Structure 1
């Protein structure tokens, strides 16, 4: 009897088989690199355990830029470069069309982090590469949108968010080049509420009821476009109020957003049993009303007492709680399905998902606990502990051919 043929081992060439493979691998790499640097910086700032060189850009601002414009967008571009052609019934993109996007984003982050640890020209080169990768990715998606004969409103919603993100990216780069610090503020605020939140909400609006309808018998999908349009209206209002520094009045935008998010969570959440890979989507989505409720409380307290009591807590409930949880849930789903593996949560993914809930709670509480700097450092280390095994597992999958022998 002949032995079974040996399975091919990991190979870099497999990364170029599909946009999500390349971009998710880059996103996973960016995720760990960014948080290792940030954890070291926080440890240095709080206890002086090691000496981190001073940077030309404040480290906190650089951390926000890297997470908003390089780490999460690596996953976002990987997803959208894959699904845009499918949503619109157009041919899939070729390797030469998406490879430059990945090169720009990974090269940009590597150079920025090298600049953060002392390489003199690392930050300007990193900004240039980031802009290049973003420009190519945006152009590829825009060409697909222009080639579509009909109107895919979810694609247009994602494109609107990407355009706002591109404005924010350019604004932060202008600040690094010597412009007024207000440009940095514009870049950071557009990255959160202009880019990431509307893309996450748009994808949830399109995909979560669809996933539930396929997995739960008798489930009725609810995806009215008026809900998505209303969410956009109040996102824009939030940005206008925050950028004009009327933060005490943010509740005028955030309270309606809270009500809309509660409505969606109620209408989308399946009744009865559902598989774990679906359950984590809705548990992660529950951080949306939680974070918006914190924003409302923060705004009303400021209005009534002219003080800020939660600091960056609401933002980290959004970024770690919502964005982090759904990153693990969605990337696990795409990775399992598009690698020929069963659509189920494995032990490593469960560990990452449960741990990220604790990390999010820890980071929010760090704003009101004594010795906030220590708790921020602990949160960064806990983030690495939570996600490192998950990143290692999905990274290896992207280096392997599909388990079922199919392309992609």
Structure 2
């Protein structure tokens, strides 16, 4: 009886992947953004692997975002395949791999560079391995699309590490860009599956049938952008005009795609308009990146439209929704979550288009963007730490 009580599977936190990874991702993002805020005010709280500039961009992608994606995919794959996903001791071991990577990236302890690199690189292939086992066993081939994306994310991560080890700042930058675009591709895939459906179901409105050509163009154009960026990272000299044209096409196709999902009717429901607003930053960010490729302004501004407005906002919305549904609680907007999503949108606007128009207020936009992010994810932690650490409301497993 004691062994059963102490079994990792009995811990609510270890029953499905969304629980530990959503909780740790939100907490990690607040802590790491706090360190970043201190850095901008001249305080050095860490001497991490690769330096603070590298650490910030790497850890928001392969620390925060990777944890959210792992929590979502390893939970969703159970629904997609009908097979039980990773849980118990195996899940806690996977969480341990992620945590070890974060600790060694923040506190390298004078270890040889290859050791933090190997530990950090192990996480995403492990996630892909769990997904592959379930998808192949259930023969749900449609969901194999996530596996090459995770493989390419691992390659982008490797590129960033090799850039640090070789002192190649251009490789670091291009590998980081590839990672951002791969996360964007995953948002396009997942957003296409759920945003229109959630909107129609919640509002009781008819759902427009997808236009196959538009769906192929929306996904295919972003895939083409990812392929182009992969070639650039590998050293190919692609014309800037070509990348700008691909990004412009992807922006247009995804803007039209989004316009058909009924977002204008979702303004009273933060868990809906948060998804629509986050998806809107995908065409906005890609359009800005196309202009940046033509020399209009820095690509970093477009990158932050995708990372804060797209990635940060969509992940906050999806975590808020999934954490309720999978703990058998009513899917409703908890107090302050609408404010949190509004703060994320405001942070993205300040850090991207506003900064592009008014570069003289860089200091203020950086500071407010960081503060808004921390407040938004702190609100999530306030509401969801309890449910994520507690058993399902209906007493069932999961």
TM-score by length of 2: 0.86
Residue matched to 1:361? 349
Residue matched to 2:249? 256
Bigger shift: residues 322-331 or 169-178 = 169-178
Cα distance in 1 for partners of 2:113, 2:349 equals: 32
Residue matched to 2:386? 396
SS of the equivalent of 2:65 reads: helix
Distance 1:376 1:87, change over 3 A: same
Conserved in 2, the CA contact under 8 Å of 1:107 and 1:129? Answer: yes
Distance 1:95 1:123, change over 3 A: farther
Residue matched to 2:274? 280
SS of the equivalent of 1:174 reads: helix
Cα distance in 1 for partners of 2:336, 2:208 equals: 31
Give a deviation string over 1:120-172, Cα, whole Å, max 9, x none. 339765433322222321211122233232421xx222222111101111222
Unmatched runs of 5 consecutive residues or more in structure 2: 1-9
Conserved in 2, the CA contact under 8 Å of 1:242 and 1:250? Answer: no
Residue matched to 1:57? 50
Cα distance in 2 for partners of 1:98, 1:383 equals: 28
The alignment status of 1:222 with 2:210, answered yes or no, reads: yes
Distance 1:253 1:58, change over 3 A: farther
1:221: Cα distance to partner?
Answer: 4.5
1:200: Cα distance to partner?
Answer: 0.9
Residue matched to 1:36? 34
SS of the equivalent of 1:93 reads: coil
Conserved in 2, the CA contact under 8 Å of 1:238 and 1:250? Answer: yes
Of 185, 188, 198, 1:201 maps to 188
SS of the equivalent of 2:395 reads: coil
Of 366, 374, 383, 1:376 maps to 366
Conserved in 2, the CA contact under 8 Å of 1:17 and 1:407? Answer: yes
Residue matched to 1:81? 74
1:65: Cα distance to partner?
Answer: 0.8
Give a deviation string over 1:87-112, Cα, whole Å, max 9, x none. 13333334244322211112211332
SS of the equivalent of 1:347 reads: coil
Segments ≥4 residues shifted beyond 6 Å: none
Distance 1:241 1:377, change over 3 A: farther
Residue matched to 1:105? 98
Cα distance in 1 for partners of 2:369, 2:359 equals: 13
Cα distance in 2 for partners of 1:383, 1:19 equals: 24
Cα distance in 1 for partners of 2:393, 2:337 equals: 19
Cα distance in 1 for partners of 2:280, 2:345 equals: 11
Residue matched to 1:322? 310
Conserved in 2, the CA contact under 8 Å of 1:97 and 1:140? Answer: no
Conserved in 1, the CA contact under 8 Å of 2:184 and 2:282? Answer: no
Conserved in 2, the CA contact under 8 Å of 1:81 and 1:98? Answer: no
1:403: Cα distance to partner?
Answer: 2.4
Conserved in 1, the CA contact under 8 Å of 2:125 and 2:150? Answer: no
Residue matched to 1:334? 322
Of 16, 37, 45, 2:14 maps to 16
The alignment status of 1:156 with 2:144, answered yes or no, reads: yes
Residue matched to 1:120? 110
Residue matched to 2:4? none
The alignment status of 1:292 with 2:286, answered yes or no, reads: yes
Cα distance in 2 for partners of 1:393, 1:126 equals: 33
Cα distance in 2 for partners of 1:150, 1:340 equals: 26
Give a deviation string over 1:356-383, Cα, whole Å, max 9, x none. 1111111123354215245323422332
1:316: Cα distance to partner?
Answer: 0.5
SS of the equivalent of 1:312 reads: helix
Distance 1:96 1:351, change over 3 A: same
Cα distance in 2 for partners of 1:121, 1:348 equals: 43
Cα distance in 2 for partners of 1:176, 1:259 equals: 35
Within 5 A, what are the aligned runs for 1:266-277?
266-269=259-262, 272=265, 275-277=269-271
1:396: Cα distance to partner?
Answer: 2.6
Aligned length: 380
RMSD: 2.6
Cα distance in 2 for partners of 1:178, 1:135 equals: 24
Residue matched to 1:305? none
